[in-house]
Amino acid sequence: MPSKDKKNFLSLNYDKLILAAAVALLAVSGVYLWMSSEQKGKDIDNFKKDIALPPVVQRTPSAPVDDTGYSRVVAVVGNPLALGTNITMLVAPRRTLCFIENCREPMFSEDDICPRCGEKQPDGTGPEESFYPPEGLPDVWRTANNLPLFEAVGHLDSDNDGFTNLEEYYAETDPRDADSRPPFIGYLRVDEIKRQPFPYVLKGKSKGMNDVYTFQINRLTDNRSFNIKTNQVHKDMAPWFVDSYELFNTVEKRPGMKDREVELARIVLTDGAEKITLEEKAEPLYNSFVVTFVCEKWPGFEPVVVRNGQGFEFDGVKYAVPQVLADNSVSVPVVRESDKRRIVIPDKSVPPPVIMPREKKMVEEEKFEKEEVREEEKFEEFEEEEVGEEEEKED
């Protein structure tokens, strides 16, 4: 049977057939690999032709190699990349917590309002300043003045002028320039106010020839008496002298005796700048106040002692103390002579006018201006009372 003979042939030659198939498969694989190798060789040759590498130039005296490019590369490699002083991180910060100190709850960085406390979050340009650290310096101001963005530098004195970076920010001065600093007048303080009597009293008068009067003036400090005439300058009373006088009648009350009418004198003493009115037999005039100014911010500053009505120079600027009122226990107004601006100098217990957000600073300035207006109103009332008392005396 043909089918039976075929089966017998396959069974008898099975191994030989398997071997023949394996040989044929290996032959085909070899041909494929050979063809692939030939193609890669052609691709490499084509690549070399495309890039056209120049021939290597031998270092010989007749053909020296240009070392300029090589030296430039060595210099760059020898100096690693340096970042600017205002760059401290390569990744921008993202807010993950509420900026409010009493909250500090997690929140999304894109939220402008904290969903928990409801407070507005800073954007890096306002008075809350940078996201970190919260010390009162805006990121924009830091960058403009080459100060690190993510370091606490508000307490530092970058230019060694005695003022911190925070003080320079509020004064709008340059934290990198020692010649650009906040004015010391903002740190001037009242150390002490002493009320003192005017050193002279009018004890009496005498009428001489040609109706010329001589006035007896006593000095309280040593109880010494001076007899001087109008416009006469006594060396021991200088610079004070009698500028003018007037006579007036008054009723003198005498215990156990009948009242009588007497004639008294009223003189005007002047030192050329200030005028003081003294009445005969009157009590000492307590119109003088001595103010002591100090400035702890200024190294080696000597206290300035000024009497009301006098002037003084401070930080290269001239000021005057026009009037110290009796109720000025914590502040004294001074006037800058250059523009007649009135400045109130507070008591030494008042901290420097910094370390506050600018919004709060504006509120404080408005409050300060209102206090100045009240001080001026008090001064005007004081002057009106003095005028009224003088008119009553004249009547």
pLDDT tens-place values along the chain, 395 residues long:
455 555 565 566 666 667 777 777 777 777 677 776 666 666 656 655 554 544 544 444 444 445 554 455 445 444 444 444 444 443 344 556 677 767 777 777 677 888 888 888 776 555 444 555 557 788 788 888 988 877 788 888 999 998 988 888 888 889 999 999 888 988 999 988 887 788 899 999 998 888 889 999 999 888 899 999 998 888 888 889 999 999 999 888 878 888 888 889 999 999 887 888 899 988 887 767 888 999 988 988 999 998 877 889 999 999 988 877 655 557 888 899 988 888 888 888 887 765 444 444 455 556 666 776 777 776 677 667 766 666 666 66
The residues pairing with 291 across neighbouring beta strands, listed in sequence order, are 193, 306
The answer to whether the beta carbons of residues 348 and 330 sit under 8 Å apart is no
- Distance, C-alpha 38 to centroid of its chain: 79
Matching residue, tokens 């690693």:
80
**186 contacts: CB under 8 Å, gap ≥ 6:** 171, 352, 353
Determine the pLDDT at residue 1. Answer: 47
Residues near 198 by Cβ (< 8 Å), separated by ≥ 6? 276, 278, 284, 285, 286, 287, 288
Distance CA 132, CA 104 (A): 13
In the chain, where are the structural domains located?
Answer: 99-182, 186-194+297-394, 199-279
Q: Phi then psi for 360, rounded to 5 degrees?
A: -65, -35
Residue 349's pLDDT is: 83
Contact in structure between 324 and 289 (CB atoms under 8 Å): yes
